Amino acid sequence: MPAVLKGIIQMTNRYIKFPYTVGEQANIKRQFAAMSGFPNVIGAIDCTHIAIRAPYVDEFIYVNRKHVHSINVQIICDANLTLRNVVARWPGSTHDSFILAHSSVGNRLRAGAIRDGWLLGDSGYPLRRWLLTPFSNPQSAEEVRFNDTHTRARSVVERAIGLKCRWRCLDASGGRLLYQPKKA
């Protein structure tokens, strides 16, 4: 098992890459616009919890809001459900926006890596010039329409996360990963 994990980790950067180039971003923007009608989207972001065995050290920080020991994993995907960023190192009690703020993608986006486009996040994220969130209480037909289009475009990350059901050890139906956080 350690050799398999090492191989997967070594190959990760070859297959999971955030679209920093103008060409990559333009292609993803076209895909999101065709799929949802939402222009200039380069990715959808959310987090998901992967249940783990209670760790020996700092056990309490791995307890999420559902009182389950977990790792909170950040996912960014494109319109085709292709993973563009995965951050799988934070305890279950960590808020989604904290993970983004402390990730390499978050740092690069704050530094201006996206000049003409957005990530789409849910209301758990703060609004940024590069991160659009829905209106919390839409007051007009335009705001309602924006939220509907935002939801349609952002649903790709929900569907990508839903694929974890294919591997029962990753969702609650198969129990939890029987590993400590570092290995999980």
What averages of pLDDT result for each successive group of 10 residues across the chain (184 residues)? 76 88 95 96 97 93 96 97 96 98 96 92 96 97 98 97 69 57 60
pLDDT in the model for residue 177: 55
User: What is the distance between the alpha carbons of residues 78 and 85, in angstroms, rounded to a whole number?
Assistant: 10
pLDDT in the model for residue 184: 53
User: What is the distance between the alpha carbons of residues 133 and 125, in angstroms, rounded to a whole number?
Assistant: 7
Beta bridge partners of residue 87, listed in sequence order? 74
Distance separating the N- and C-terminal Cα atoms of the chain = 12
pLDDT in the model for residue 81: 95
Largest CA distance in the chain: 56
pTM of the model: 0.87
Contacts of 53 (CB under 8 A, 6+ apart): 69, 176, 177, 178, 179, 180
Three-class SS state of 69: strand
User: What is the distance between the alpha carbons of residues 10 and 12, in angstroms, rounded to a whole number?
Assistant: 6
